[in-house]
Structure 1
Amino acid sequence: MSEDALAPHRRTLLVGASSAFTAFLTGAMLPSPAWAAAPAWMRGASGTAVRKAFDFLAARFDEYGSGAALRVPRSYTGGFFGTTFVSSFVYDDALVILAWLARATAEDVERATVLGDTLLYAQRHDPIGDGRTRASYQPDSFTTLDGTLDIGSPAAYTGNQAWAGIALAHLYARTGQPRFLTGALREATWIQEHTWDGARAPYGYTGGRGATGQPLTFKATEHNIDVGAFFTMLARLTGDHGWRARAGAAFAFVAAMRDRADGHLWTGTDPDGVTTNRAPIPEDVQTWAYLATLDDRYRRSVTWVLDRLAARDAGVAGVSFSDADVSKVWLEGTAHTALALRARAAKGDTLLARRLLWNIQQAQATTPAGDGRGIPAASSDGLDTGFGDLYYASPHTGTTAWFLLAALDSNPFRI
């Protein structure tokens, strides 16, 4: 794209992205002096912001160990969570691995390998020992003196299993170390044996196991996107077409959740596994469906996010978590959207992605609870997801990793 095509006076001609959202970003997101003094928005995230974000991940990883010591990073730092909440969520850990592999310096790969080996240790030493990993671990006491895992949340959600597997699959693709593929296959086998539902249409993968081991019988669109992407990777890495067929089944569920009227995706099903769950409607499934498949059917779901989830708060603009609350910006989802726009590459998408990344960079620099390096989960405290959770303006490893993936144009759903 030419420099002329990126010039600000051309913004009214952007037709690939939502014109309303483009106007929202360019018009009211910042006071005019800041906008005029900040031509960096045209380049998206600066190299300094990217470096600082990687520094944040390194600091979190080295908080409770160093070198080759097995360890997991604390997910949230400061603000609402203070210093007492020290859980490390496996979803976040997987994203940290993927961010390091996206930049892939020798030190990055070394750190990613240690964190991958930590996930393998957790898998091998799980008290049930059937290939699962848990929702979270405690980084300040990851193992006790007798080697027992310090598990934070014992739930085994399907999406988390898939994300751990995706990270291990990327590690195998990068390093060629067979242990990572073995661990990924154990995760995949657990998903297939414990969550596949071929009895209740629309067929797909259920939610996994709760904290007390109870089956979670709903089917989540998000989980099935994760599983479809993960199993597609395994098919490519192993040559086993069975994984490709299973990936196709997961993606068929995703397609069944698509609303043909405006192209968005529903959340999934109720616990009966059949009835469509229509409220709230989250951001992640809209952009992830496109990133995981690059299927033209989901181009409209990306635009739906721009049209329906635009949010502005605390001096930054982006998108929110779901249509339940658009009063605050969900920075992770804003990174999802930026990366999806870069992948979609319709007219205006690249420029809009850069603007979103610039906004995330602003949040990195200005969040009161931050250190100028990590990206906060939300623009300010109390973002209501609509699913019974709140997000806070605390720097977050997962959000920081997604910012880096978007800034480096690295799609974690594909190898």
Structure 2
Amino acid sequence: MTAQSSSTSRRSLLVGASSTFTALLTGTVLPTSPARASAPGWIRGASAISVHQAFDFLKIKFDEYGTGSALRVPRSYTGGFFETPTWTFVSSFTYDDALVIMAWLARGERDDVRRATVLGDTLLYAQQHDPIGDGRTRASYQPDSFTTLTGVLDIGSPAAYTGNQAWAGMAFAHLYARTRQHRFLTGALRAATWIHQHTYTGFGYTGGRTADDQPLTFKATEHNIDAGAFFTMLAQLTGDRSWSARARHAFAFVAAMQDPASGHLWTGTDPDGVTVNRHPIPEDVQTWAYLATLDDRYRRSVTWVLDHLAAQDAGITGISFSDTDVSKVWLEGTAHTALALRVRRAKGDDLLGKRLLWNIARAQGNGQGVPAASSDGLDTGFGDLYYASLHTGATAWFLLAALGANPFRMP
């Protein structure tokens, strides 16, 4: 996910893998004893214990400000930069919440589905009680004071980004597919209608609305991937072919952003909606384009990530956020790449994906969530930094990759 600042919202051993990345991974040794390597608990390079602990972390964060059926959101970041003796950053980003829902549904135990439903109902409540009330959700909410008693939402960041609307909508779509509770399909359709009515330009979708409800006129490749995947889900769930047409519009913009020489995708356009923004080149659009479409043209973009965004820091090997700074590992993007490798299944991808997951589990520490970055100060290139604070979004992406669940596609 394109970085969001703490104040506003919120990548010779293996054939087919990058030689640069392979060199970094040469020193990373997976457990190889027959008992460990073949044990049923070893899931795609992440041990069953690591997966269980990651799910426990999400549960603890979700129950921090409420329990049972109480509507609530989990704070996105814990510890480190975001928590001092005198100040705690408690915002809950809608994108992270959508991922948590999808991770719970991917495992699908009864309690997982129950918790996913409560969190989904919380986002529905936010959509239904928004002060503008046109179907949007906001970039973040405040979990310590989010209340349904007064009907007033405590909004953290009021911006309504296109990508965030799509992620909330995809979470609703997954919930409807699992529970058949019609309220989730209604919420998904409201979110999709908002995107199309407020951001469609004839060729791709713009960035959404600012905190003071002004249009964001740039077009982000990431947002168009999100919208295309979301609209495809709605076409499948409703049989309405207009959503398929809208998905094609979004994906046409994505295809136009692919550099024919290198295979990578540019980040999108400048505010004029036409001029290509060529810096920075982020990880997420490379792997997400492939995961969302399964189009062979984007197999090259996954390879580009391995060739250009390999990073090693604090004993962890993985993927960085963008070509601006490859001195630190972005754990969420490392999970994106692990899942893309699992889906792509080129020669060497399976082992490489397992190694990436093993590194994420190593960064996880003892029984905790996954940090956003391997150490503080990862420069995204978009004016934001990532820190080594535990992150619900990174933890959820780790679980999705470990379970082989592609959030951009219906099960």
TM-score range, shorter chain: over 0.9
Please list the CA deviations of residues 114-156 of structure 1 after superposition, one character each: whole Å capped at 9, or x if unmatched. Answer: 0000000000000000000000000001027422000000000
**Structure 2 gap ranges (5+):** 1-11
Aligned twin of 1:178 = 182
Q: How many equivalent pairs are there? A: 391
Task: State the Cα deviation string for residues 284-341 of structure 1 (Å, max 9, x = none).
Answer: 0000000000000000000000000000000100010000000000000000000000
For residues 360-380 of structure 1, give each alpha carbon's deviation from its aligned partner in whole angstroms, at most 9, with x where no partner exists. 000001xxxxx6320000000
Alpha-carbon displacement from aligned partner over 1:40-71 (angstroms, at most 9, x marks no partner): 59950000000000000000000000000000
The CA distance in 2 between the partners of 1:387 and 1:138, in whole Å, is 24
Offset, 1:19: 3.2
Q: Which residue of 1 aligns with 2:321?
A: 321
For the residues of structure 2 that align with 1:43 and 1:287, how far apart are their CA atoms? 18
Aligned residue number for residue 211 of structure 1:
211
SS at match of 1:140: coil
Aligned twin of 1:378: 373
- Give the equivalent residue in structure 2 for 1:73: 74
How big is the shift at 1:23? 2.5
- Whether the 8 Å CA contact 1:68–1:114 is kept in 2: the answer is yes
Q: Secondary structure at the match of 2:346?
A: coil
Paired letter, 2:299: R
Deviation at 1:213, TM superposition (A): 0.9
Quick one: distance in 1 between partners of 2:192 and 2:353?
A: 33
C-alpha contact 1:169 1:180 (8 A) present in aligned 2: yes
> 1:51 is matched with which residue?
52
For 1:60, what is the secondary structure of its paired residue? Answer: helix
Q: State the partner residue of 1:272.
A: 272
The alignment status of 1:149 with 2:153, answered yes or no, reads yes
- Render the CA deviation track for 1:174-222: whole Å, top value 9, x for unaligned: 0011000000000000000000011xxxx10000001111100000000
Contact kept, 8 Å, 2:20 with 2:310, in 1: the verdict is no
What pairs with 1:132-147 in structure 2 (closer than 5 Å)? 132-143=136-147, 145-147=149-151
Which residue matches 2:387? 392
Contact 1:144 1:150 in 2 (8 A): no
3-state SS of paired residue (1:219): coil
Q: Is the 8 A contact 2:176 2:182 kept in 1?
A: yes
User: Of 174, 189, 192, which aligns to 2:193?
Assistant: 189
Consecutive unaligned residues in structure 1, runs of 5 or more: 1-11, 366-370
Partner of 2:309: 309
Cα drift, residue 36 of structure 1: 7.8
Look up the equivalent residue of 2:97 and give its one-letter code: D
Deviation, structure 1 residue 97:
0.1
Write 1 or 2 for the structure with the bigger share of helix: 1
Taking only the aligned residue pairs, the percentage that are identical comes to 80
1:246 match: 246
Deviation, structure 1 residue 20: 3.0
In the alignment, is the contact (CA less than 8 A) between 1:42 and 1:351 conserved in 2? Answer: no
Report the counterpart of residue 229 of structure 1 in structure 2.
229
CA contact (8 A) 2:120 2:175 kept: yes
1:24 shift after superposition: 1.7
Give the match for residue 409 of structure 1.
404
Q: Do the aligned partners of 1:331 and 1:378 also contact (CA within 8 Å) in 2?
A: yes
Q: RMSD of the alignment, in Å? A: 1.6
Residue type of the partner of 1:374? G
- State the 1:258 CA deviation: 0.3
Q: Distance in 2 between matches of 1:119 and 1:178?
A: 15
Aligned to 1:7: none
Alignment map for 1:3-14 (pairs within 5 Å):
12=12, 14=14
Cα contact 1:382–1:390 (8 A) shared by 2 = yes
**How far 1:13 moved relative to its partner?**
6.3
Query: Residues of 1 paired with 2:204 and 2:187: CA distance?
Result: 23
Whether 2:120 is the aligned partner of 1:116: answer: yes
Matched residue SS, 1:141: coil
Greater Cα shift, 222-231 or 15-24: 15-24
Instruction: Report the AA paired with residue 382 of structure 2.
Output: F
**155, 164, 173: which one aligns with 1:160:** 164
One-letter amino acid matched to 2:116: A
- 1:106 maps to 110
Distance 1:235 1:36 in 2: 45
Whether the 8 Å CA contact 2:14–2:352 is kept in 1: the answer is: no
Determine if contact 2:221/2:285 at 8 Å carries over to the other structure: yes
Structure 1 residue 35: Cα displacement: 7.5
Specify the SS of the correspondent of 1:312.
Answer: strand
